[in-house]
Amino acid sequence: MSILNDEKYAKFLLERYYEYPQGKYVNLILIRKTESETIFRTEGSGEPLCCEFVNAGVQKRETDPIRRVVITKRKQTAVERRTGREDLRKQNLPCLTESGAINPNSVDGYVYGYAVGQSGAQKSRVITEDAFSILSTSLITDVRTSNALYETGTMRDSRDEKATASTSLFESEYVRPETHFLDIETLKDVTADELFYVLGNILRSSRYGAVSSRIGKIKNTLAQVIFSDTEIFSTLELTQQVYDSLLGDNKDTELDFPLADDILLNTVKQSSTELVNQIIGQYEIMIDDDYNSLMNEVRNVYRNPAEFLQRLANSYTGV
C-alpha cells in the first residue's frame, strides 16, 4: 500500500481531479546543485546572469543587500514539463496538438495548465517561485572568454585573401559547479498519481539554463515534503533562514564555497520545520521513514511507467 494512503497525508490529496479549488497543498522543498558550469539568463547571448539584490539572512542584515543568482520559475518548469512530455510520448499519450499547442485533454495540460485560444484554459496546479542561490554572486560565479572560429579552426577565413581576423570575442558569466540553490514547488489540489508524475519530472530532469547541450548539469534533491491546507513560506524566506543557520554565531564572517551537501540538507530540514511552525493552518511534515518509502515508490513507478501513466491519463476521462 502506498505511503500516501496514510490518513495524515491522504487528507491533503484528492481522489480525482476537481475543476474548482479544494485548498489542498503539497510543498516540495528542493535543493538544486550544479554539477557543471551553468548559465541562467534571458534568451539570446551576451546577457548577464539573472540576479537579484536581497537581504543575506533574517538575522544578518547588512547595510547593502547581497546579490544572489536566480533560476527563474520558467527556466525550471519548462525543463521539467518537457521531461514529462517525453514520458507521455513513449506511451503514445499525445500532449501536443498537430498545430503544436498544448493538448487540453493530456496529463501535461491538466497538471501544468494551458491556454488554447477559444478552446479554454487550465490554470497550472504546479506553483513555482524563483530559486535563489544560498551564497552571493561574487562567490559562485566566474567569467569565461570565448571566440567564434571559422571552419578552419582559426580566427581568419582562409577562403578570403583579404579577410581580417575575426573580432567575435565574447564573455559569458557562469555559475560554478557545486553551487546550491533552494526552491519550493507547490502542488495544489493534486491526486497521488499527479504527485508521482511531478516528482518524476523533477527528479529525472538534469539539464537547465542556456547551452544545456554542453553545460547546465544539475542534480535535484527532494529535501522535504510538507502537506498543508495553505501555501507555506517562500523560497526566499527559506534561503535566508538557511543562510543564518549555516553562519551560526559567526555573523561577521562569510560562508565558504562550496557548501557540504549533508550539512546543507540537515539545515534545510531544520529551517523549513522552524518556518512552517509559523504558518496559520494545518500541515503535516513527512517523516524520514515515510520519505524513504515515498522515494522508493517513485523509483518503482518509473522503472515501468506504462501502467502508471495510462492510469493517470484515464483519470481525466469524462471530466
More confident residue, 152 or 139: 139
Q: Residue 146: is its pLDDT beyond 80?
A: no
CA distances from 197 to 73, 107, 152 (A): 19, 9, 47
Question: What pLDDT does 295 receive?
Answer: 97
Between CA 211 and CA 219, with CA 217 as vertex, the angle to 5 degrees is 150
Indicate left, alpha or beta for 46 from its phi (over 0: left) and psi (-120 to 50: alpha): left
Mean pLDDT of all residues in 96-120: 79
Mean pLDDT of the chain: 86
Tens of pLDDT along 161-183? Answer: 555 555 555 567 889 999 999 99
Q: What is the mean pLDDT of residues 113-131?
A: 82
Residue 48 confidence (pLDDT): 77
pLDDT in tens, 203-241: 999 998 877 677 889 999 999 999 999 999 999 999 999
C-alpha span between 201 and 80 (Å, rounded): 5
Please say if the pLDDT value at position 62 is more than 70. no
Interacting residues of 247 by C-beta distance below 8 A, sequence separation 6+: 57, 60, 253, 255
Give the H/E segment covering residue 182: strand 180-188
Task: In whole angstroms, give the CA distance from residue 9 to residue 294.
Answer: 11
> Torsion angle, CA of 79/288/36/200, rounded to 10 degrees?
-20
Q: What is the pLDDT of residue 95?
A: 81
Cis ω before 258 (30° cut-off from 0): yes
Upper half-sphere CA count for residue 269 (Cβ side, 13 Å): 15
Tens of pLDDT, residue by residue over 239-277, are 999 999 998 877 667 888 999 999 999 999 999 999 999
pLDDT of residue 190: 96
> Mean of the pLDDT values across residues 194-204?
96
Q: What is the DSSP string of 190-201?
A: -BHHHHHHHHHH
* pLDDT-based confidence at residue 80 (cuts at 50, 70, 90): very high
Domain positions in the chain: 3-77+124-140+177-305
**Which range in 10-14, 16-20, 117-121 is most confidently predicted, on average pLDDT?**
10-14
* Confidence class for position 102, pLDDT limits 50, 70, 90: confident
HSE-CB of 81 using CA atoms within 13 angstroms: 23
What are the residue ranges of helices labelled H in 29-142?
73-90, 107-112, 137-140
157 pLDDT band, cuts 50/70/90, is low
Q: Are 28 and 202 in contact (CB under 8 A)?
A: yes
Closest CA to 134 of 83, 189, 181, 86: 181
- Residue type at 246 in one-letter notation: L
Distance separating alpha carbons of residues 68 and 183, to the nearest angstrom: 13
Tell me the per-residue pLDDT of 18-49, one tens digit each, with 9 for 90 and over. Answer: 888 899 999 999 999 999 988 887 655 556 78
10 Å Cβ neighbour count for 11?
Answer: 12
Q: Letter for the amino acid at 68?
A: R
Q: Which parts of 254-316 fold into alpha helices (H)?
A: 261-276, 288-303, 306-314
